[in-house]
Chains A and B, each alone.
Chain A
C-alpha cells in the first residue's frame, strides 16, 4: 500500500492516522529536513503547544516530533512543506514565544499544510503512545489479566449503586401510542 492511498482513506484533516499506523519503518526513510537538534526542539515545542499537557514529560513529545519529521520527509512535496514550515517558525522566533503568543500564532497558520501535518500527526501519535496512556491513567489491554472484572470495573464509589434491571413500566411505555403519550404528558404539564 502506498502513501497516496493511505492519505486518501482519511481526509486532509485526519490524514496522518493511517500514515502513522502503517509506517513500515520510519528509521529506514532517508531523513534530512528537520533532523537536527535545533529544528527538532522547535517542532517539539509546536507539538506541545498544539496539544498541551503540562504534566507530560518531554519523552512523548520527542517521539511525536520525530514522527512529524520522519513523515514530513516522505516525498519531495512533504519535504518542501516541512522545510518551509520550519523556516517560518524560525522567522517569527517561535522558539521564544510563550504559550499565549504561540497559540495566537498557531491559530493564524491553522489552515496551512504544515500546521495540519503537525497537528494530525500529533493527535494520533501522541495519544497512541503507551507512555501517554500510563500518564492519563488508562490501563489498556486487559484480557491477559483476566479483564477488569476483578480490577475495578465497578469501583466508582462517589455515586449510589444504580438499578440495572429495566423499569417495570418500560414495556408499556414502548408499546404506547406516541400520540396518546404526548397528549397525556401535555395534560400532566398543564395541570
Chain B
C-alpha cells in the first residue's frame, strides 16, 4: 500500500462510506494520491456474520451520542439515534440496496410545495438534468437492478405478498428493484444467493458497498494510503483561513497529525457537522465553514415507519433479499392527501431478534406475542418518505458528555413536523389496506427505528447564507475544504439517499480533480 508522509501536504479524505469511498476511488483513478482516514477497521466479507445482533455489534457506530426532541427514538433509544457504521465502507456495509433516483421536482421542493410552516425548504443548486449522467454512473457502479440492462431479482416470499396486495388495491408501480445487489454476476461480484443477511454485510459479496468495490480498487491504483482505526478529531487551518491539516487518533489512541492541502469531509450527517463544530478557533469561533450558521441544522431522517402483517399461511419473509420490493404509487406530491411530498413502500424483513426489539419498543403482552408467535406468517414493508427540513432539528455539541477521547459528543435533536406525522398516518392506513386485501389477520404499525438515513446537516445551497457547500461540494467559506456525504443534501426527497450521495460524490470529484490539476488548491 502507498505510504504518504504525515508531513506531506496531502489530499485527505475523512471517512470511507458512500461519499468518502467513492471520492477515494475517483481521485486515485485520476492519478491523485490520497490519504483516507477511517475511524473503523477493515472487515472483509469473510468476517461478516449471519446474526443480527452479532453484526450490529461488529460494525455499528456505538460511540456515545445523546438525543432530544419529540421523536420517539429519543425515548426508546436515547443513546442510539442512528444506525450508522464505523468500518471501511461506512454504512454501505449494512445498507440494503434500494436505489431510486430523485424526481425532477424533488430538487426544487421550495418552489413546488410552496410555503410550509416551520419547514426550511430550499431548492437545490443542481437539477435532475445536471445529475442524470452521474446517476447513470452511480447505478453502474452499484450495479442497480432494472437499470443499464441489468436483470431484475426474482420475487421472494415477502415480495409475493407485497406485490399481490399492491395489485389488489390498485397500485401499478411495483417491482423488485432498483436494488444494489446483483441478480446475475456483474462487475466481479456474484449473483445473490438470497441468504437474507444484507443488513449484516452480505457474506456472498453480491451486494455493492464501497468496502467491496471502491476502496479495493483505489488501493489497486497504489495511490491510496488507507489508514483504518483512525478517528479524526479536528481539522486545522492556517492564518489565511485555509485548512492545512487534520488531527486524529490512531489505533492505539495516540494523537497524530496529517498535513493537508485539500480536505474532503465524508463522515456522514452526524460526524461531519460535529467535526466542523469541534474545529472552532479564534478565527472561526462558530466552527469551520459556518459563517451561515447552518452547520448542523436541517437534520433530516426520512419519514419512515414499518407495517408488519400476519397471515394465516406461511410467508417466511426472512428468506431472501431484505428489501427487494418497491412500490412507487404514493411517491408523487399530491397535497390533496393532506401533506406535501410523497413516499415509497419497500419490502423489509427482520429476524426474531430485531423484530422483538423494534416491532414496538417497550411493548409487551398477548397482542405483541400473537404477532411474534406468528413469525413464519409475517410479511413486512418499510415506508420511506420525504420529511421536512427544520432549522431547529440539528446536531450540536453536548459539552456535558464526553466521548472516549474527551471530546463533546454530538446531540441529535429532532422534532417531527406535522407534515411528517400526517404522511406517516396516511401511509400506515394505505399499508393496512394493502395487506388486508390479501387476508392479513393482524397488522402492526411499527414506529421509526434509529435513523438509517441521515441527511442535510451541511446542506448545499446556491447562496452562501443559506447553506454550507456549493453545487460542487465545496464549502462556501473555505476553498480547499469539501464535503461529500449525506450531510450535503439540501432536502431529502422520498428516495433512499445512497444513490444520490454516490452520484454527488462522483460529480464533486470532477471539481476537486480539475481544481487540483489547475493548481488552484
Contacts and interface: CB of A to CB of B under 8 A. Distances in A.
Q: Do A and B come from one complex?
A: yes
Contacts of A105: none
A162 B332 contact: no
Most buried by B among A138, A176, A179: A138
A8 B65 CA distance: 9
A113 to B, nearest CB: 14
A154 B334 contact: no
A81 interface: no
A76 B348 CA distance: 42
Interface stretch (B228-236, B310-318, B418-426): B310-318
Interface in B167-213: 167, 172-177, 192-197, 203-204
B24 to A, nearest CB: 28
Interface in A38-84: 50-53, 55
A159 interface: yes
A156 B357 contact: no
B83 to A, nearest CB: 12
B77 A153 contact: no
Given A51-B364, A167-B172, A176-B332, A162 B160 contact: yes
B405 interface: no
B104 interface: yes
Given A9-B79, A149-B194, A177-B105, A156 B316 contact: yes
Given A14-B77, A53-B373, A143 B203 contact: yes
Nearest to B128: A175
The bracket for how many chain A residues form the interface is 35 or more
B334 A185 contact: yes
A154 B364 contact: no
Interface in B76-92: 76-80
B241 interface: no
Given A11-B76, A166-B175, A136 B315 contact: no
A14 B355 contact: no
Nearest to A52: B369
A160 B163 CA distance: 10
A148 B173 contact: no
Contacts of A9: 62, 64, 79-80
Interface string B13-49: 0000000000000000000000000000000000001
B328 A174 contact: yes
Interface in A2-52: 5, 8-14, 17, 21-22, 50-52
B126 interface: no
Contacts of B164: 159-160, 162
A181 interface: yes
A163 B328 contact: no
Nearest to B354: A127
Most chain A C-beta atoms within 10 Å of own C-beta, residue among B64, B172, B331: B172
Q: Is the interface of B mostly helix, strand, loop or mixed?
A: loop
Contacts of B80: 9-10
Nearest to B51: A141
A112 B475 CA distance: 50
B194 A148 contact: yes
B239 interface: no
B204 A147 contact: yes
B418 to A, nearest CB: 20
A143 B373 CA distance: 25
B241 to A, nearest CB: 37
Contact of B319 (A53, A148, A163): A148
A151 interface: yes
B361 A143 contact: no
Contacts of B355: 127
Contacts of A142: 50, 195-197, 319
Nearest to B316: A152
Interface stretch (B150-158, B483-491, B507-515): B150-158
Contacts of A132: 352
Contacts of A146: 193
Contacts of B333: 178-179, 182
Nearest to B64: A8
Nearest to A1: B62
B159 interface: yes
B76 A127 contact: no
Given A11-B79, A166-B173, A136 B105 contact: no
Nearest to B203: A143
A166 B146 contact: yes
Contacts of B95: none
B182 to A, nearest CB: 13
Contact of A10 (B78, B192, B351): B78
B472 interface: no
Given A164-B159, A173-B328, 8 more contacts: A13-B362, A127-B353, A142-B195, A143-B195, A156-B313, A165-B146, A165-B152, A167-B175
Interface of B: 49-51, 53, 57, 62, 64, 74-80, 101, 103-105, 112, 146, 152-157, 159-161, 163-164, 167, 172-177, 192-197, 203-204, 313-316, 318-320, 328, 331-336, 351-353, 355-357, 361-362, 364-366, 368-369, 372-373, 375-376, 438
Closest 7 CB pairs of A and B: A147-B193, A127-B356, A162-B163, A11-B78, A141-B50, A147-B195, A153-B320
22 contacts: A9-B62, A9-B80, A11-B75, A11-B77, A13-B361, A51-B369, A127-B352, A138-B375, A138-B376, A142-B195, A147-B195, A152-B157, A154-B155, A158-B313, A159-B160, A159-B164, A159-B438, A162-B174, A164-B175, A169-B172, A174-B101, A178-B332
